[in-house]
A and B are shown apart, each in its own frame.
Chain A
């Protein structure tokens, strides 16, 4: 249930941005969660909705964009099909994770004076 810790870290970062921008309130929060990031997007939403009450995010719905996993050949032979060993079928090199590891605060919608 590290999703609760992650949501706390998210609030801390949002508070920083709100302070920097002299915002009055937060109206929307958009995050990216990679499907191989080790984070359950559903639990993350639940944790956010549980904890946002009485925070600066109380009126800010959360948009979660789930990012699919994508492994690629480091030599440019393209993506590796899902469900296969993580070596490039063309050159045999170990693959590199190109997407799917994101735990990212992407954008806020802020009410500013």
Chain B
């Protein structure tokens, strides 16, 4: 009420809030992260454009790592469970998260996905294959330990500069489809230089799911982050 004269009129008051708009998502992400930590599960948020080779990478990862570690996948897609079926066929337990029209996964979708992925507590690695998109997924914390971005060589050299937020948040960039380099006018050193403009500690592995190039390095990197005292993300040669 107006305190000047007691007339009963309403007042306009400024109310400072200073809170992140995604604070609710970040609370759920923190909850997911606590679950992962308590059960010793390394959660990897795998992002990249549609067709960048995320699912093929998971299939190849299964071949290389499944005999040494328990793997699971939550697969985000706008529609269909095609990718979930592909990774299941590769021997990995998988659950689709069909987002409908949403262009990204959020922490609550992952939380609900965990409820459906029975046995996730026994995993060594949970891969969260995000919706194919180089913009929106970068904004949402899911509770992951690391962000990995799959960038195929066919996407060109300038993607890190065009989508700086995505690459800034990446702990590792997998430069996929390396077997296509001989037929492309794309230079890996230019991509590396562009990454250094948006990533303070650029880490990149040249990889190919089809030929197996770079898979040893990728598996080595994954094993290095799954240690009881992982103080920092490992460097890449």
Instruction: Please report A residues at the B interface, Cβ cutoff 8 Å.
Output: 1-2, 5-6, 9-10, 12-13, 17, 21, 24, 27, 31, 36-39, 71, 83-87, 94-97, 102-113
Contact = CB atoms under 8 A, between A and B. Distances in A.
Contact of A109 (B13, B18, B21, B106): B13
Contacts of A36: 164-165, 168
Interface in B1-22: 1, 10-22
B21 A31 contact: yes
A111 B24 contact: no
B10 A6 contact: no
B77 to A, nearest CB: 16
Contacts of B197: 83-86
Secondary structure call for the A interface: mixed
A106 B16 CA distance: 6
Secondary structure call for the B interface: mixed
A49 B177 CA distance: 42
A97 B21 contact: no
Given A5-B102, A13-B23, A83-B197, A108 B18 contact: no
A90 B93 CA distance: 49
Nearest to A82: B197
A9 B196 contact: no
Given A36-B164, A108-B17, 16 more contacts: A10-B21, A13-B17, A17-B17, A21-B15, A24-B10, A27-B12, A38-B136, A86-B200, A87-B200, A103-B21, A104-B21, A105-B19, A107-B14, A111-B12, A112-B10, A113-B1
